[in-house]
Chain A
Amino acid sequence: MGFTLTYLGLIVLIPLSTLFLKSATLNWTEFFDAVFSARTLAAYRLSFGGSLVGALINVVFGFLVAWVLVRYEFPGRRFIDALVDIPFALPTAVAGIALTAVYSQNGWIGHFLAGYGIKAAFSPLGVVIALTFVGLPFVVRTVQPVLEELEKDVEEAAASLGANRWQTFSKVIFPTLIPAVLTGFALAFSRALGEYGSVVFISGNMPYKTEIVPLLIMTKLEQYEYAQATAIAVVMLTVSFGLLLLINFLQAWSRKQQAMK
């Protein structure tokens, strides 16, 4: 117990609190200049927007993947199920260069997209691709267990009462999955917001255009502008804490809904 708290304090709490202590030494104008400069605002837009789009893509396709893996039999299903976790296990730098190789103009998919005039790598679209990649397993892994537990007799009851398949899905199956979907969404969004490794390779890192917030913090650190880096980090950290609380709440809700059945 004592060891747990000491170690937690030394590794996590003391280092994190230095960030807030440091930010307390800034005066307000410094803080606002760093946090609301045009370049920072552009970075927020890209980071939040890209994470949101990535997480929404993952809600739609992650749900579909979970559905297909739980409900249907097809060759290679178990193998694919295992590989869904690749974004958890693959180092982000590797993911970054692999995605860049595939989606750049002469890459396997990128040259195909370029034929339609779509620039994937080195554009905001590239950022979205990387952020979708890192969040991919979350929705699948939160929806999958709930879907597995779902009793078939409820669906049979709905069907025997005359509901067609789509009605059964949208009125009976989907509502019970909403907490899990939202949890997965929040996890994917929160992960995407902090992501650095995979994005820096594919985005091109142009200030005002393809620069995400973590990269901006990195740039400020490399220029020894610690005050500005701290100010921006405090904003991001506060958002992360908020998301963490939201996720805890969603998970509790999800468990409660599970227990009610």
Chain B
Amino acid sequence: MTKTISEPFWVRALLIGVALVFLGLFLFVPMAAVLAGALKKGVAVYLQSLADPETLASIRLTLLVAAIVVPLNTLFGVAASWAITKFDFHGKNVLLTLIDLPFTVSPVIAGMIFVLLFGAQSVLGAWLIDHGIKIIFAVPGIVLATTFVTFPFVARELIPLMQSQGIEEEEAAMTLGANAWHTFFRVTLPNIKWGLLYGIILCNARAMGEFGAVSVVSGHIRGLTNTMPLQVEILYNEYNFAAAFAVSSLLMMLALVTLAVKQFIEWKSKSVSIRAVFEGSESA
């Protein structure tokens, strides 16, 4: 019986082989190339290129931008998914689509809209510059563009999760006299913490790695408005490959840590739901 619903050994081996070759060509070999490129001239050069003042400035800026953007979008993500899943109102689907918008907008266009809005050629931009506020080709522009691009991540993770959990527990808490804050921190938050954490790390990975949108608004001022991905580009275009790959290796590490946390959360939330089922059957 089992034979008829599976494939002969040679077919399985062939399919696995083809899949692995495909992933190898597009994923594994390029990742190995980053490491090889970074360490080509030895560990000393690797560390030296990371200690370069401009590179250090780019790392600081990337961390600063993430430190502003991620909390903002986390707050929004929680508020939006709360509003969407716990209340009923007209135009919910429109709101859902609007939240998804930044995913479909090309990063270049995402950066460009802020240039149109705040650039020196616009009315608003000219006024701001007269008052000594510079947004485009400065850090605020980078923060805005990054916020736009990473806007949906937290909400996207939370909405399906909170939809599946329903509102019974919150209603019970409210009936028992808890106020909205209490209900949120004691009931909702513990239920969504793993999904929330996953949304946050995805948002963070994208915030630190965004290239296109930031590239439009940054102006590439060395040591001032270069984030890590922009620093990679500059080093690469100067044929300073070892340094470009060294900075890249840090960003790749970030990506791998992100995926490791994702795995951990999947494992954790699976074990939580299994425990819930187990405890549920025990009490029944």
User: Which A residues are within 8 Å of any B CB, using their own CB?
Assistant: 1, 3-4, 7-8, 11-16, 18-19, 22, 61, 64-65, 67-69, 71-72, 74, 80, 82-95, 97-99, 101-102, 107-109, 129, 132-133, 136, 152, 155-156, 159-160, 165, 168, 190, 193-197, 201, 213-215, 217-218, 221, 224, 226, 229-230, 233, 236-237, 240-241, 243-245, 248
* Residues 86-130 of B contacting A (Cβ, < 8 Å): 87, 89, 95, 97-102, 104-109, 112-117, 119, 121-122
Q: Is the C-beta of B67 less than 8 angstroms from some C-beta in chain A?
A: no
Binding site for A on B (CB under 8 A): 1, 4-7, 12, 15-16, 18-20, 22-23, 25-31, 33-34, 37, 76, 79-80, 83, 87, 89, 95, 97-102, 104-109, 112-117, 119, 121-122, 144, 147-148, 151, 202, 205, 208-212, 215-216, 228-230, 232-233, 236, 241, 244-245, 248, 251-252, 254-256, 258-260, 262-263
Assembly CA distance A236 to B79 (angstroms): 31
Question: Complex formed: what's the CA distance from A74 to B216 in Å?
Answer: 45
B89 / chain A contacts, CB cutoff of 8 Å: 1
Chain A residue with Cβ nearest B232 = A93
Contact of A80 among B23, B106, B232 (CB under 8 A): B23
In the complex, chain A residues whose CB is within 8 Å of the CB of B87 = 1
- A152 close to B5 (CB less than 8 A): yes
Q: How far is the CB of B82 from chain A (nearest CB, A)?
A: 8
CB within 8 A of B4: which of A133, A156, A196? A156
> A86 and B27 in contact (CB under 8 A), knowing A8-B99, A64-B18, A193-B106?
yes
A67–B23 touching, CB < 8 Å: no
Instruction: Name the B residues within 8 Å of A3 (CB-CB).
Output: 76, 79
Q: Write 13 A-B pairs (CB below 8 A) sorted by A numbering.
A: A4-B79, A15-B116, A74-B16, A82-B259, A94-B232, A94-B248, A97-B34, A197-B107, A213-B106, A217-B109, A218-B215, A233-B109, A237-B105
Whether B30 pairs with A99 at a CB distance below 8 angstroms is yes
| Interchain CA distance A244-B102 in the complex, whole Å | 11
For residue B106, which residues in chain A have a CB less than 8 angstroms away from its CB? 193-196, 213-214, 217, 233, 236-237, 240
Instruction: Supply 11 further A-B pairs (C-beta < 8 A) apart from A86-B31, A197-B107, A197-B229.
Output: A1-B79, A16-B101, A65-B19, A71-B6, A74-B16, A80-B23, A98-B33, A101-B30, A159-B4, A226-B115, A230-B112
In the complex, which residues of chain A have a beta carbon less than 8 angstroms from the beta carbon of B101?
12, 16, 244
Which residue from chain A places its CB closest to the CB of B201 in the assembled complex? A89
